Amino acid sequence: MAATLISATIWSFPHAWCVTADGHALDPTWEPGHGLAYLGIAVTDEARWPTGHRPGSLIEEYPANTALLRDGLPAGMAAPLGRPPPPPRS
């Protein structure tokens, strides 16, 4: 998920972005400064990345990703990048 500011309102969307080795988000689809917050999983399995010859994504291809949704990510598919989300507020 990613959040952006549109007309003085914060909106969140299912979204994908790139991440630097030190965990900073690089978003080639939004203009600089438009991404307010990013929460996601760094996927290391290139077979799961959308490309010109392999459209779709982990977000959009629900039938192809039923096992991921049911069982979670296989070992080694995610990279431990960025900062963990804060604990929920009570």
Q: pLDDT by residue (tens digit) across 24-41?
A: 888 888 888 888 888 877
Residue 86 lies in a domain: no
Residue 89 lies in a domain: no
Residue 88 lies in a domain: no
Residue 68 lies in a domain: yes
Q: Exposure of 18 by Cβ count < 10 A (0-12 exposed, 13-18 middle, 19+ buried)?
A: exposed
Number of domains in the chain: 1
Q: pLDDT by residue (tens digit) across 36-62?
A: 888 877 777 777 666 666 556 666 666
Range of the structural domain that residue 9 is part of: 2-79
Residue 36 lies in a domain: yes
Q: pLDDT by residue (tens digit) across 1-25?
A: 889 988 889 999 888 788 887 778 8
Contact between 65 and 58 under an 8 Å Cβ cutoff? The reply is yes
Residue 85 lies in a domain: no
Residue 66 lies in a domain: yes
